[in-house]
Amino acid sequence: MASVPDNQPDNPALRNKLVELRMRSEQWIDTVSKDKTTFFGSTKEQEDHARKVIMSFKQFIEQHKDELAALQIIYGKPYGQRHLTYDTIRELADAIKQPPVNLTREVVWQAYEKLERARVRGAGPQTLLTNVVSLVRFALGKVDFLEPFDATVNRRFAVWLIQQQRAGRRFTVEQLEWLTMTKDHIATSLEVSVDDLDLAPFRDRGGAVKAHKTFGKDLDKVLREMNEVLAA
């Protein structure tokens, strides 16, 4: 986690938000809930099964990298849209479930936990749909660690806030609350639009009308920046 230089003006609201984000992004160990076992057998049999799962997953990615929009975007291939959307990753997750692959993101996650536990952050299989993005990026070697997508978003958000402060941009406590809600929405949906601001939980805080009052003419710019930085 990057730190704010001592010569930066003090911003208690930002400082508290960074502490909160750091705590939420740190690796945690679940000693209460139990993982759902997907394969029984000896340790060697389980490891062999995990290797087959990962090989099948990587083969799927290679075979469909020119067909599925989400894979094209993650690969960085020329495509009509600039960033991932919920629809594109849902299409990807659904395709992985189909024969002959018959995989789920939970099964693939467990396979990586079995073989590369030192590089897997987060306890147990991760069920959030956006975690399929984390799995693909890890399988392609684009990231060094496999972690829940929301943890990646939290870290990027913290860095973005620090960059804004260094650039002289100041956010009020109310604006930070809206930014945090926006960040959480991106973590589960990969993008946010002005129309989304009339949905929960934004609706309970006044919706798009209140967001416009809170950020003024900067609202569209802030949403665009967060989409590009957090879900890239």
Q: What is the pLDDT of residue 128?
A: 84
Lowest mean pLDDT among 51-55, 119-123, 222-226: 119-123
Task: Name all contacts of 135-138 with Cβ < 8 Å and 24+ positions apart.
Answer: 135/57, 135/105, 135/108, 135/109, 136/61, 136/70, 136/71, 136/74, 136/92, 137/74, 138/112
pLDDT per residue over 22-49, tens digit each? 555 544 333 333 444 455 567 888 999 9
pTM for the full model?
Answer: 0.80
Q: What is the pLDDT of residue 33?
A: 34
Q: What is the pLDDT of residue 84?
A: 86
Cα–Cα distance for residue pair 174/187, rounded to 1 Å: 20
**Average pLDDT score over the chain:** 85
pLDDT at 105 > cutoff 70? yes
Cα–Cα distance for residue pair 179/46, rounded to 1 Å: 43
Q: What is the pLDDT of residue 38?
A: 53
Mean pLDDT of 129-157: 95
pLDDT at 194 > cutoff 80? yes
pLDDT at 79 > cutoff 80? no
Share above pLDDT 70 across residues of the chain, in percent, rounded to a whole number: 78
Q: What is the pLDDT of residue 230?
A: 93
Q: Which residue has the higher pLDDT, 43 or 219?
A: 219
Mean pLDDT of 72-77: 86
Provide the residue ranges of all domains of the chain, joining segments of one domain with +: 12-26+151-230, 43-147
Q: What is the pLDDT of residue 68?
A: 94
